[in-house]
Structure 1
Amino acid sequence: MKKYRVNVQGMTCSGCEQHVSVALDNIGAKNVEVDFRKGEALFELPNDVEVGTAKQAIVEAKYQPGEVEEIHPLVKVNLGNEGDYDYIIIGSGGAAFSSAIEAVGYGAKVAMIERGTVGGTCVNIGCVPSKTLLRAGEINHLAKNNPFIGLHTSASDVDLALLVKQKNELVSQLRNEKYVNLIDAYGFELIKGEAKFVNEITVEVNGKQITAKRFLIATGASPSVPTIPGLTEVDYLTSTSLLELKKVPKRLAVIGSGYIGLELGQLFHNLGAEVTLIQRSERLLKEYDPEISEAITKALTEQGINLVTGATYESIEQDGDIKKVHVEINGKKRIIEAEQLLVATGRKPNTESLNLQAAGVTVGSLGEIVIDEYSKTTNSRIYAAGDVTLGPQFVYVAAYQGGIAARNAIGGLNRKINLKVVPGVTFTTPSIATVGLTEQQAKEKGFKIKTSVLSLDAIPRALVNRETTGVFKLVADAKTLKVLGVHIVAENAGEVIYAATLAVKFGLTVEDLRETLAPYLTMAEGLKLAAITFDKDVSKLSCCAV
């Protein structure tokens, strides 16, 4: 018997699954699994039945078969025999812990190697510390700039040292609860030290060589620093060191305005600093739809953040405590001065010290580990997951990949990584959330599309909040009206995007959104209103009218 996976177009419901399943059963296929949401069928065929016969059966059932893949089962690890460990994980972040917990469930003897602080980027220097400080900054900003007449609020100077102390206490608590304490709870071993491959089954840590049947590399990424003349001679900050400042600077300049630069720049603006964001491209978030870029640009400008776009960096120098960034914009020279300088120009994978060539593991042009759709590297014994692969830089993606890696590496399964529908959130105020295809991406994939763009001033929740700078945008297939992408700039956009993610993942249509009841005076109602906007002017509807 041979096992196959075939893409099937045209399925829209569980009844379609049954039709395809019966068609395959009739030609002798075994262990048939059909999923209309994924648009695929899994089945086994006797060696004397050609896969073309299966494709023809699907055609006769009135569906369209696409690419066919023969699935070769991975070799399941023979646990508990030779070697020191069944599974060694290098790194201790979200991908590492997810993978360790999954592998222990198979009965594997697991070791985790960590050269620094247990917990990885998210809990220690990323999501948790930045988001708790962002909330503090938002409260401080609202205290000084609330939009309601009759409310008299104010804020004094920020004691950043106390805020950072409180932030560090939260980080310590969550690190222990969500990482350190789980080591004993699940029964795997933590080895402190730096791992370096000796060969494809051996790493050296603290001068000792240890072996394993399978490995996972989950070493994450760290701030990337661009090559700008003079930068290395300046006392600049990264996203890590900025979060340890004990005093709010009078002026902060930020090189780069991706999600890290936007979040941390706005944080310090809200804490009282004069902030200037500097970037090379002509518009913020150029990979997003223009309406999203325009909305967040308007919001930040209204708040008083200085935006410098289209800049060419010439040099950086330090004069006493003042950093000077020399740029050229449209042929004109300009110097931007600040007490503190944040470099937020992306992240680089942590692979330099691993000696990967000794293990036969290939890296890409940026040092990222190259993996296949099963999370496997060019060495079949070694897997990789999370930011070290330079996939989507989200802890939930890393954890998902880590779980897949363990199922394949230890369980011998053939689970593919599926990152077709990944929501992303930038925690500015208003926040930015996106899932699925942008308008441009949809066109590049050959879709004929329809779009709906709804300003936040048409959404009742925004009106009562008195915060109406923002936008909802839906991208849909013009033929089927399936929702291909949703892009939002609004308060609580990160909460709304989960519903949008379900819509994109499960092929809901614009009509599905229209016909689904949405609670009034929630930001999530914006999804329904944006769907109605495809063919109606919502400004001419009564409250809750459809």
Structure 2
Amino acid sequence: MSATQRFEFDLAIVGSGGGAFAAAIRASNLGKSVLMVERSTIGGTCVNTGCVPSKALLAAAEARHVALEAGGRFPGITADAGPVDMPGLISGKRDMVEGMRSEKYADLIDNYGWELRQGTATFSGTPEEPVLDITSPDGAGESVSAAHYLVATGSEPWAPPVPGLQDTGYLTSTTAMMLEEVPESLLVVGGGYVALEQAQLFARLGSKVTMLARSRLASAEEPEVSLALMSVFTDEGIRVLRRATLVSVARDESSGGVKAVADVAGGRQEFRAARLLMATGRRPVTEGLNLEAVGVKTGDRGEVLVQGSLASTNPRIWAAGDVTGHREFVYVASAHGALAVDNAFSDAGREVDYRHLPRVAFTSPAMAAVGLTDEQANGAGVSCECRVLPLEYVPRALVNRDTRGFIKLVAENGTGRILGLTAVGKEAGDLAAAGVYILEAGMTVEQVANLWSPYLTMAEGIKIAAQSYTTDISRLSCCAT
């Protein structure tokens, strides 16, 4: 790029999600001119079809579930919950999404003063002189040049090529959030975070749910996670079949629903349900961007191949968020966007560091983790020692009358340095957040065991788990830990 070359914008961003906005804000604060191009609804996946709507519905489903179970959980309390008014629930969710989209996205564009174009973006030109062609919804076209470009187009639900699947009108995590009625029965294919959340959501809203998982639930996490969630799901009437592979799907003409055939643990079984939800992962959105024309390489799943700095194979084109194929969390996308801008305009030389990245599934009880699992530590050649603390030893869980779950610590032998934390329980996400600080500080189990922790908090469980390395926790006083 010539020092004397002039461009219409310092930064042109394709996409308008968390990564795009983080980049635009950082660039604007650096005094750079910014253009953002969005072909659909502003805000990206998180606010429109992902985190915000799904967690809003999960919270509503949990409120209904708590009402239904309150009588058995708390003596002296009676409660009831009638059928779900799904149109009303979806309308409330839609209002929340529209409000957040306006306040946290659209209004910020005016506040910071960057430009927004509605339209479809495609790269053209050459690797040395890339250009962004923008086609507006009315068919008008324009071409713009920028000193740097950021691809932040996110990802979309993906389903494997199963015979008959495309003819069944199957649901994805996106379309499931738009249903105007609760399906009488639901077949969920998948065992990851999205499958777990959606299965429990619809079960609590009144669907009869069956899950087909290729491996154990949350297979990348500690095995205790799968066991705990299997127990919770069984108690809530969710049928989970492991080692299940979908073979074919067809419409069930007799009921108007779907029928599916799957290989389950070596045998073939047929399943029928009103609706089918495919929660089998997501794929980066890069089709139609014409990235190859400007020297940007993509991987087998369409992801933009990036260095740790988030630069693509073209030094003027960067990528952030799900489109990179990295971990699919909105806080990762946001960190990506800011980091890419710092590297592009300030030569910061920063790289993404995922060592202490927290991960959360908003089931109830929730699952959260940070750092290494036992298996990962051993695979890295680290001799480690683990402790699993059942929640029956955590006073907060006892007074909540909900001891489903555990807290697990992975510590290095010899030094006692904590390498990983996993929890299933109420407020598990907050425990993982505390774990981020513990791991970042390089703290040991001895240090954590002897630090202050407020009584009757879930976070106190981390201290008790650390104490379990040297103490028989069954002999501790509940108020004098």
Using structure 1 for the length normalisation, give the TM-score. Answer: 0.84
In the alignment, is residue 204 of structure 1 matched against residue 138 of structure 2?
no
Deviates more, 1:327-336 or 1:521-530: 327-336
- State how 1:48-447 maps to structure 2 within 5 Å: 82-146=6-70, 147-199=73-125, 200=127, 201-206=130-135, 207-281=141-215, 283-320=216-253, 321-447=256-382
Per the TM alignment, residue 534 of structure 1 is displaced from its structure 2 partner at its CA by: 1.1
Shift of 1:255: 0.8
Q: Is the 8 A contact 2:165 2:248 kept in 1?
A: yes
Checking the alignment, whether the CA contact within 8 Å between 1:106 and 1:411 is kept in structure 2 is no
Stretches of structure 2 that go unaligned for 5 or more consecutive residues are 136-140
Who is 2:138 aligned against?
A: none
Q: Secondary structure at the match of 1:365?
A: coil
Secondary structure in 1 aligned to 2:124? strand
Residues 192, 219 of structure 2: 8 Å contact kept: no
* TM-fit CA distance, 1:265: 0.9
Aligned partners of 1:287 and 1:417: how far apart in 2?
Answer: 21
Compute the displacement of 1:224 (Å).
0.6
Deviates more, 1:397-406 or 1:204-213: 204-213
Deviations 1:152-189 (A, max 9, x none): 11110000100100000000000011110111111110
Structure 1 gap segments, 5+ residues each: 1-74
Q: Aligned to 1:483, which of 407, 418, 427?
A: 418
Structure 1 residue identity aligned to 2:295: G
> Deviations along 1:242-264, whole A, 9 cap, x unmatched?
01111111101101121001101
SS at match of 1:122: helix
- Residue pair 2:22, 2:337 contacting (<8 A) in 1 also: yes
Q: Report the alpha carbon displacement of residue 332 of structure 1 after superposing the two structures with TM.
A: 2.5
TM-fit CA distance, 1:330? 2.9
CA separation in 2, counterparts of 1:299 and 1:536? 29
Identity of aligned residues (%): 43
Count of aligned residue pairs for this structure pair:
469
Question: Hey, what's the Cα distance between the residues in 2 that align with 1:275 and 1:149?
Answer: 29
**Residue 96 of structure 1, CA deviation:** 0.4
Q: How far apart in 2 are the matches of 1:380 and 1:250?
A: 52
Q: Deviations over 1:32-66 (max 9, x none)?
A: xxxxxxxxxxxxxxxxxxxxxxxxxxxxxxxxxxx
CA contact (8 A) 2:191 2:214 kept: no
1:515 corresponds to: 450
Residue identity opposite 1:173 in structure 2:
G
Once structures 1 and 2 are overlaid, which stretch shifts more, 326-335 or 439-448?
326-335
What is the Cα-based RMSD across aligned positions, in Å? 1.3
Aligned to 1:243, the other structure's residue is in SS state helix
Q: CA deviation at 1:78?
A: 6.3
TM-score, reference length from structure 2: 0.95
Moved over 4 A (4+): none
Give CA deviations for 1:513-532 in whole Å, capped at 9, x if unaligned: 11111111111111001001
- Conservation of the 8 A alpha-carbon contact between 1:299 and 1:470: no
Structure 1 pair 228–478 and aligned structure 2 pair: CA distance change class (3 A): same
